[in-house]
Amino acid sequence: MADQTLPIGGSIDVTLARPEARTALLEWLHGWVVTVDHKRLGILYIVYGIVFLLVGGVEALAIRLQLAWPDNHFLSPELYNEMFTMHGTTMVFLVGMTIVFGFANYLVPLMIGARDMAFPRLNAFSFWMTAFGGLLLYYSFIGGFGLYGMGAAPDVGWWAYAPLTAKAFSPGHATDYWALSLIVMGFGTLGTAINVIATTLSMRCKGMTLMRMPLFVWLMLVVSALTLVTITPLTAAQIMLTIDRYLGGHFFDTQAGGSAVVWMHFFWIFGHPEVYVLVLPAFGIASEVIPVFSRKAIFGYPAMVAASVGIAFVSLGVWAHHMFTVGMTSVGNTFFVLSTMLVGIPTGIKIFNWVATVWGGKIRFKTPMLFALAFVFQFLIAGLTGIMLSVAPWDWQLHNSYFVIAHFHYVLVGAIVFNIFAGIYYWYPKATGRMLSETLGKWHFWLFLIGFHITFDTMHYVGFLGMPRSIYTYEPDRGWNHLNLIISLGGLIQGIAVLIFAWNLIHSYLRGKRAGNDPWDAWTLEWSAPSPPPAYNFATDPEVHSRRPLWDLKHPEDPDWKYE
Amino acid sequence: MRLTIRCHGARKIRQTLLSVISLAAPFIGPALWADTSNRIPSLFAPESTPAHSIFGLSMFVLTITGGIFLVVGGLLAFAIVRFRGRDNDSSEPPQIYGSTQVELAWTVIPILIVVVLFLTTARIIFAIQDAPKPKDSLDVTVVGHQFWWEFRYPKLGIVTANELHVPVGRATWLHLLSADVDHSFWVPQLAGKTDLIPNHPNDTWIQPDRPGLYVGQCAQFCGVEHAKMLLRVYVDTPEQFAAWVKNQQQPGVQDPSVAEGRHIFETEACTNCHTITGTGARGTFGPDLTHLMSRDTLAAGATLNTRQNLYAWIESPDHMKPGVLMPAMQLSDAQIDQLVAYLNTLH
């Protein structure tokens, strides 16, 4: 039964009591496969993403082991190239995208007081497309038919620049698995994006105006719109590549007059906004976690919304800053310098607003908050190194060096993965009814933080010393030896931290403390539902009067709606 | 003619910055970790004109971003320490929803910073990219191959590989082409990188101001042996350079004492890919070997050019550089000995 003290949503739980007896394993599995419930699909997405996080992490450790010292023979050059291609593709498409859309699936309906997504069956279809796309990619290890009939994973880099992907330079099927799996996953992603947009625009409960939506929902709306625009050119480019490889097309075939640069434009007009597709939901998680654990309302809500929409718009016009070295005109380069630097303004506003939210609060240092605070600090650095990279002449030096690797791992790990962890620690009690262990959580946080900084702070420096990316080994006389060993050790520490996290997920599921509806004393609608919420979320349609409906309930003497 | 990049008012600021940075150099410099006898292609040790101006710009940007980091990071750290909650205090702090004045201020300040950074950057972009080509500049055509560099000096009639020789103090104009996939020419101490893209010729330039050897490597993933596509630029004094040119313009040495080795070279498939002027070998898929012995390294820098290494390389290129396109020719030990003896005369 729901908490009777809260007259919103969960007050009357009229869903049928679940059968107490344990159903057979097969039935249980069947239930997960045929489900169209947004919460179950959300959990499927996130579990799928965490499994591939471990796979991608093992690939990263293999890379780091190979680079720990010069002229190492742990991996062959061919296998090394497969490892970094698969690591990049996995982490972006199978980890980042799935976990982000998993959070969206689970949280958006709960946060806006809806009973499910707008199109539940499209939702299930999207998940299974994504899931099978990922399996297709990994099947290349067995079925990729490379040289000597061995399986071969894609080895052209996750950016897959033409003409290295042409039949002449990439025989076998490994590149085809890469292209086809991205097409399949792309359709899944598009389905979810349409679903999120439709849900946020048409399924909000009474009183939930757009400007009262939680920031996470706002950011998922922006991200979904951005996804619709950016996955399309990626899918188009993969189809063109496949036509080149099998039907004699010459889009990117430079030996027949095609253009390698056109591929770069297609890829980065997807690839750069893709970074924002991943990082904006992370902003959304931080914007939920930081206020609750600072015990203050988010500072400057309208500015946060405007900045998010602004970032999304500007991000569509910056893609060629990945191409400062391909020989664009000086005017072209200058344009992309300006557009890229402009991103810094809305991003700066966001950082200032998070700091101002903490300012004057009473901070509770629970694990979700630790991850979110580390995120703000690291994202500040990532933004500043981004400014450095936007300075085209300096980018001519830094491009494709380890400085770039450090910069984008600061964004993808320091911002996105940290916030994914924050989000999981924050909402795990809602999804499972159990608290994650704080002790294990703090071990996880501190080890991961230390490992992260050992690895990626050092990487900036080895980039300054001229070490390029994508190399399977390096010369011993370049002054990079000790630094690479340090980077690898940091990677190992992060690996241990992630194992602690995985153990925490399993252990707490079985033995964790009961969570109750609202363990964090939070303010958004999902905390009014039971943990875990029943299939239909809210027995009665909730009605809200401000951005923090539960604050209004808990503080009837000082409700938010007086000030908004 | 000496090519310089004009720096109007910013020169003074930059000099101040550079002096500050040079004070900090022992702490950020490579000396911290590395043996100083190493060849470190550090961005912070520029020895050529475009690299100098990029270094100056980078120090300016580093100072501004460093300042932002200290201010914002400091505020965040202060807030975290100052506003930590007490265990026994369960009351809620005052709720503040925003402040138009404060938010306006922290919107306007970043805009001003962006204007300054953008104008500074634009000036350097135009100064480097649109620099007029001096009349006395040396022309070199660079062709990227999987996985080696071809250097052609069209006005001097020289073709060589992997080791570029240029004169000190004079501008060298590099015309960048690719024979197969994308590559990128990067010698950090001389200039930023520029890509070599098939069907898309590019140009870049360097003007080194100190003789010496500068190392770099391909900076765009180009396939299996991308890591062993190393690059060496020898900046010669004018006399050294003239002597080098004179030697390179000679046809291949014809030494009768190694005629067997030359016969093997000419009758095996070597000639399909390699050129040695003065012989029938006219292949262009592999490096020109006319003056092989004038180079310090083999296989695009994968190993030093010694007799043993040359022997091992010919015997099994794939062993030394897995994935290289040169095949093992299945020669007998005696044949390889004779071939190496012949190649060793090609000074």
Residue B215 touches partner A, C-beta closer than 8 Å: yes
Nearest-angstrom CA–CA distance, B248 and B292:
10
Q: All domains of chain A, ordered by start, with CATH? A: 36-550 (1.20.210.10)
Are the Cβ atoms of B122 and A361 closer than 8 angstroms? Answer: no
CB spacing of B33 vs A483 below 8 angstroms: yes
C-alpha angle A543/A547/A550, rounded to 5°?
65
The reply to whether residue B224 touches residue A477, judged by beta carbons under 8 angstroms, is no
CA distance A372 to A366: 10
What residues of chain A, 404 to 443, have a C-beta less than 8 Å from chain B? none
Predicted pLDDT of residue A145 = 66
pLDDT score, position A506: 96
> With contact defined as beta carbons under 8 Å apart, do B127 and B3 qualify?
no
* Domain edges within chain B: 10-82+97-129, 138-237, 256-343
Q: Under CATH, which architecture does the B256-343 domain have?
A: Sandwich (2.60)
* Interface contact B96-A474, CB threshold 8 A: no
H-assigned helices in B268-301 = 270-273
More confident residue, A320 or A20: A320
Residue indicated by tokens 């992997």: B162
Nearest to A362 among B93, B193, B215 (CB): B93
- DSSP letter, residue B309: H
Q: Which residues of A touch B97 (CB under 8 A)?
A: 297, 299-301, 563-564
If DSSP states are collapsed to H, E and C, what string results for A173-194?
Answer: CHHHHHHHHHHHHHHHHHHHHH
DSSP A425-444: HHHHHHHHSBPPPHHHHHHH
- Give the rounded percent of residues in chain A with a pLDDT score beyond 70: 95
Whose structure tokens read 């998070």? A354
Q: State the ipTM, two decimals.
A: 0.90
Return the SS3 of A249. coil
Cα three-residue angle A217-A10-A34, rounded to 5 degrees = 70
Q: What is the DSSP string of A46-88?
A: HHHHHHHHHHHHHHHHHHHHHHSSTT--SS-HHHHHHHHHHHH
Nearest CA in chain A to B131: A330
Confidence (pTM)? 0.92
Q: Measured between CA atoms, how close is A116 to chain B, in angstroms? A: 31
A148: helix, coil or strand?
helix
**What gap in Å lies between CA A113 and CA A118, rounded to an integer?**
13
pLDDT score, position B302: 93
Per-residue pLDDT tens for A100-143?
A: 999 999 999 999 999 999 999 999 999 999 999 999 999 998 87
Of A237-251, A444-458, A495-509, B12-26, the least confident: B12-26
Determine the residue type at B311: Y
Q: Which residue of A has its CA nearest to B118?
A: A338
| Angle at the Cα of A367 from the Cα atoms of A421 and A486, rounded to 5 degrees | 65
- Residue of A514 and A563 predicted with greater confidence: A514
Cβ-Cβ contacts under 8 Å, A376 against chain B: 76
Contact, A529 vs A469, CB < 8 A? no
Contact B92 A479 (CB under 8 A): no
Q: Is B53's Cβ below 8 Å from some Cβ in A?
A: yes
Are A487 and A455 in contact, with CB atoms under 8 Å apart?
Answer: yes
Which of A25-29, A534-538, A560-564 shows the lowest mean pLDDT across its residues? Answer: A560-564
A194-217 pLDDT tens trace: 999 999 999 999 999 999 999 999
Mutate to test the interface with A, among B28, B146, B181 (most CBs of A within 10 A): B181
pLDDT grade, residue A148 (50/70/90)?
low
pLDDT of residue B15: 56
For A502, counting Cβ atoms within 10 Å of its Cβ (0-12 exposed, 13-18 middle, 19+ buried), the class is: middle
Taking residues A90-95, what's their average pLDDT? Answer: 96
Give dist(CA B277, CA B148) in Å, integer: 20
pLDDT at position A238 over 60: yes
| Cα B99 from Cα B347, distance rounded (Å) | 76
Q: What is the predicted pLDDT for the residue at B18?
A: 54
The DSSP call for residue B162 is: S
Q: Residues of B numbered 169-198 whose beta carbons fall under 8 angstroms of chain A's beta carbons: which are they?
A: 176, 180-182, 184, 186, 188, 191-195, 197-198
Sort out which chain A residues have CB atoms less than 8 A from B79's CB and list them: 355, 358-359
Q: If you average pLDDT over every residue of chain A, what do you get?
A: 92
Residue of B nearest to A79 (CA): B224
In this predicted structure, the answer to whether residue A17 has a pLDDT above a threshold of 80 is no
Nearest residue in A to B220, CA atom: A400
Query: Position A85: which residue type?
Result: T
Instruction: Classify residue B205 as left (phi > 0), alpha (psi -120 to 50) or beta.
Output: beta
Indicate yes or no: CB of B83 within 8 angstroms of CB of A365. Answer: no
**Beta carbons of A384 and B124 less than 8 Å apart:** no
Predicted confidence band of residue A25 (pLDDT cuts 50, 70, 90): confident
pLDDT tens figures, A255-311 = 899 999 999 999 999 999 999 999 999 999 999 999 999 999 999 999 999 999 999
Domains B138-237 and B256-343 are alike in CATH topology: yes
Give the phi and the psi of residue A518 in degrees, each rounded to 5: -140, 65
- Kindly give the parts of chain B with pLDDT less than 50: 1-2, 4, 6-10, 22-23, 25-36
Q: Which two tokens stand for residue B52?
A: 């100098």
Judged by CB atoms within 8 Å, which residues 114-133 of B form the interface with A? 114, 117-118, 121-122, 124-126, 128-130
In this prediction, residue A22 carries a pLDDT of 57
| Residue of B59, B114, B177, B204 to mutate for A, most A C-beta atoms under 10 A | B114
d(CA A61, CA B28) in angstroms, rounded, equals 28
CB of B27 within 8 Å of a chain A CB? The answer is no
Six-digit token string for A176: 């085809």
| Residue from A471, A473, A523 whose CB has the most chain B CBs within 10 Å, to mutate | A471
Interface check for A11 against chain B (CB to CB < 8 A): the answer is no
Res B89: pLDDT:
82
Over the stretch A405-440, which tens digit does the pLDDT of each residue have?
999 999 999 999 999 999 999 999 999 999 999 999
Give pLDDT, residue A142.
Answer: 83
CB contact under 8 A, B96 and A299: yes
pLDDT value for B29: 44
Q: Which residues of B touch A380 (CB under 8 A)?
A: 69, 72-73, 76
Look at residue A233 in the predicted model and tell me its pLDDT: 94
* Helices (H), ranges, A213-358: 215-246, 260-294, 301-315, 330-358
The tally of CA atoms less than 13 A away on the side-chain side of residue A271 is 19
Model confidence at A1, pLDDT cuts 50, 70, 90, reads very low
Give chain A positions within 8 Å (CB) of B188. Answer: 397, 466
Helices A38-67 and A97-111 sit at what angle, rounded to 10 degrees? 150
Q: Check: CATH 1.10.101 for B10-82+97-129?
A: no
Q: Is a pLDDT exceeding 50 seen at residue A326? A: yes
User: Tokens representing B257?
Assistant: 């004492």
Residue whose C-alpha is closest to residue A479's, from A469, A464, A491: A464
The Cβ-side half-sphere exposure at A356, using a 13 Å CA radius, reads 22
Beta bridge partners of B235: B166, B212
Numbers of helices and strands, H then E, in chain A = 17, 0
Whether the Cβ atoms of residue A315 and residue A342 lie closer than 8 Å to each other: no
CATH of B138-237, one of 3.30.565.10, 3.40.50.2000, 2.60.40.420, 1.10.357.10: 2.60.40.420
Q: Would you state the torsion angle of the CA atoms of residues A456, A461, A464, A468, taken in this order, to the nearest 10 degrees?
A: -50
Distance separating alpha carbons of residues A379 and A452, to the nearest angstrom: 13
CA distance, residue B255 to nearest chain A CA (Å): 36
pLDDT tens figures, B234-244: 999 999 999 99
Inter-chain contact B192–A393, Cβ cutoff 8 Å? yes
In this prediction, residue A8 has a pLDDT band, given cuts at 50, 70 and 90, of low
Burial of B112 (0-12, 13-18, 19+ CB in 10 A): exposed
CB pairs under 8 A between A and B: 284
A559 touches chain B (CB under 8 A): no
* pLDDT value for B9: 47
Q: Could you tell me how many residues make up chain A?
A: 564
* pLDDT, average across residues A236-241: 96
